[in-house]
């Protein structure tokens, strides 16, 4: 037969003190003597007492839960970022609930509402590649629920953001290609509206401009952020009268898709076409030739986002949103 959970009243009855004294002792209230605190905590442990988090959340209107929304957990960047988030959350006494949008705006909206219903203390959000509206984030503002964007951010919402320097990472990648002797450099870009896509495209364009290489709009192909987008992107480049001699992809999955298509058509990497990705996914070291890429500090991005969110939760209305930008590193391998 299932036992009923131990309550504060049970502890109070056993010690012949009031429930309010037990409650304050468990919260380490200064008005309660050290001896009473020891007696209460000792008995609470002996009786397997656990606070009723649901009742507390109803009273306080918030739990000790942090909601995390990512596009896809399977991507190494997001799994590493979640690990960073969890480390900070655990140290500060929070647990996390992770949900994924599967790159769907509608599912992202459902996730936001579900986490609101679960009375989370705050949210950490990386938006889907199909998110072009921000009404669901404005709902968080109206509900006065703290939230922080990381990696993929919503620019028209005033909230803290933790990102990597996508512009600089792309600039260094393309400049490296130029310095290696490549002149006809294509770019398989991400969705036009997405901040990371825009920054990486701008880095590509700035590197061309610095080295006085004329921009050819036919060498920029827009798509999504998955492997099939790399396949489709390179297929479009194949239709050109003159193929590029190098290719910079918006991220590693897109680069891997292009990699497969390049090989399929009998081209050699890097002899015929050099290739650079962005993210430093583990697979980039394992393919042959290994893929040159831009490394992002994903774990650190997660940590900083969680630290900012917890700072906001503690500061309340006094918190001023800010943006933090972390540096990337070019990892040169055999594909260039």
Residue 1 has a pLDDT of 44
Asked whether the bond before 295 is cis by omega within 30 degrees of 0, the reply is no
- pLDDT tens digits for range 314-328: 988 889 999 999 999
SS3 content of the chain, % helix, strand, coil (to 5): 45, 15, 40
d(CA 120, CA 104): 22
Q: Nearest-CA neighbor of 237 among 221, 254, 260, 257?
A: 221
**CA atoms of 297 and 164, how far apart (whole Å):** 8
> Which residue in the block uniquely carries the two structure tokens 């870009």?
189
Task: Indicate the pairing of strand 185-189 with strand 246-249.
Answer: parallel
pLDDT at 77: 94
Delineate the domains of the chain, giving CATH numbers in brackets: 8-51 (no CATH), 63-163+298-326 (3.40.50.2300), 166-295 (3.40.50.2300)
pLDDT of residue 31: 83
Q: Which value, in Å, is the radius of gyration of the alpha carbons in the chain?
A: 26
Q: Is residue 299 scored above 50 in pLDDT?
A: yes
Cis peptide before 289 (omega within 30 of 0): yes
d(CA 242, CA 249) in angstroms, rounded, equals 19
The pLDDT confidence band at residue 27, using thresholds 50, 70 and 90, is confident
Q: pLDDT class for 62, splitting at 50, 70, 90?
A: low
Residue 246 CA to residue 183 CA, distance in Å, equals 8
pTM of the entire predicted model: 0.81
How much is the mean pLDDT over the chain? Answer: 92
Of residues 4 and 267, which shows the higher confidence score?
267
CB 330 within 8 Å of CB 294: yes
Q: Shortest CA distance to 51 belongs to which of 13, 16, 5, 92?
A: 5
Q: What is the mean pLDDT of residues 235-254?
A: 97
Does residue 75 carry a pLDDT above 70?
yes
Residue 179 pLDDT > 60: yes
How much of the chain, in percent, has pLDDT values that exceed 90?
79
Angstrom distance (rounded) from CA 222 to CA 2: 59
197 or 62: which carries more pLDDT confidence? 197
- Mean pLDDT value across residues 33-53: 84
Query: Which tokens belong to 79?
Result: 């799994």
Strands (E), the chain: 65-70, 95-100, 122-125, 147-150, 160-164, 185-189, 220-222, 246-249, 274-276, 293-295, 323-326, 329-331
Report pLDDT for 58: 46
* Cα–Cα distance measured from residue 224 to residue 186, given in angstroms and rounded to the nearest whole number: 16
Confidence check: pLDDT of 295 > 90:
yes
pLDDT digits (tens, 9 = 90+) for 81-100: 999 999 999 999 999 999 99
The enclosing H or E element of 195 equals helix 195-210
Token pair in block for residue 87: 């480390």
Cα–Cα dist 140/290, whole Å: 43
Between residues 12 and 298, the one the model is more confident about: 298
Report residue 218: phi and psi, to 5°: -70, -15
Q: Give the distance, in angstroms, between the CA of residue 245 and the centroid of all CA atoms in the same chain.
A: 33
With 70 as the cut, is the pLDDT of residue 3 above it?
no
Q: Per residue in 247-278, pLDDT tens? A: 999 999 999 999 999 999 999 999 999 999 99
Sorted by sequence, the CB contacts under 8 Å of residue 34 that are 6+ apart come out as none
What is the CA angle 313-97-2, rounded to 5?
Answer: 110
pLDDT band at 55 (very low <50, low <70, confident <90, very high): low
Count the Cβ atoms, other than its own, within 10 Å of residue 202: 14
For residue range 112-145, list pLDDT tens digits in order.
Answer: 999 998 889 999 999 999 999 999 999 999 989 9
Tell me the C-alpha distance between 329 and 219, whole Å: 25
Span between the terminal Cα atoms of the chain, in Å:
67
Q: Are 177 and 280 in contact (CB under 8 A)?
A: no
């Amino acid at each position: 037969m299932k036992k009923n959970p131990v309550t504060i009243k049970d502890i109070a009855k056993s010690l012949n003190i009031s429930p309010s004294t037990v409650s304050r002792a468990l919260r380490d209230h200064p008005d309660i003597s050290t001896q009473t605190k020891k007696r209460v905590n000792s008995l609470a442990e002996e009786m397997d007492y656990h606070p009723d988090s649901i009742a507390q959340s109803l009273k306080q209107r918030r739990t000790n839960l942090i909601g995390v929304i990512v596009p896809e957990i399977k991507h190494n960047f997001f799994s590493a970022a979640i690990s960073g988030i969890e480390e900070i959350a655990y140290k500060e006494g929070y647990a996390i609930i992770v949900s994924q949008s599967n790159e769907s705006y509608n599912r992202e909206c459902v996730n936001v509402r579900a986490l609101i219903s679960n009375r989370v203390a705050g949210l950490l959000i990386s938006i889907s590649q199909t998110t072009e509206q921000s009404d669901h984030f404005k709902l968080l503002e109206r509900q006065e629920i703290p939230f922080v964007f990381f990696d993929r951010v919503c620019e028209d919402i005033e909230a803290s953001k933790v990102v990597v320097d996508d512009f600089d990472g792309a600039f260094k990648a393309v400049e490296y290609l130029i310095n290696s002797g490549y002149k006809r450099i294509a770019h398989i870009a991400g969705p036009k509206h997405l901040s990371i896509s825009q920054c990486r495209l701008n880095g590509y364009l700035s590197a061309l401009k610095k080295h006085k290489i004329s921009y050819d709009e036919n060498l920029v192909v827009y798509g999504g952020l998955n492997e099939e987008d790399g396949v489709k992107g390179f297929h479009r480049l194949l239709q050109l009268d003159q193929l590029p001699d190098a290719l910079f992809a918006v991220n590693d999955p897109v680069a891997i898709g292009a990699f497969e298509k390049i090989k399929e058509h009998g081209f050699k990497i890097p002899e015929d076409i050099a290739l650079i990705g962005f993210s430093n996914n583990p697979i980039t070291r394992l393919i042959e030739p290994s893929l040159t890429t831009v490394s992002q500090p994903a774990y650190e991005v997660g940590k900083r986002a969680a630290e900012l969110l917890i700072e906001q939760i503690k500061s309340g209305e006094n918190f001023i949103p800010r943006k933090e930008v972390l540096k990337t590193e070019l990892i040169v391998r055999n594909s260039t």
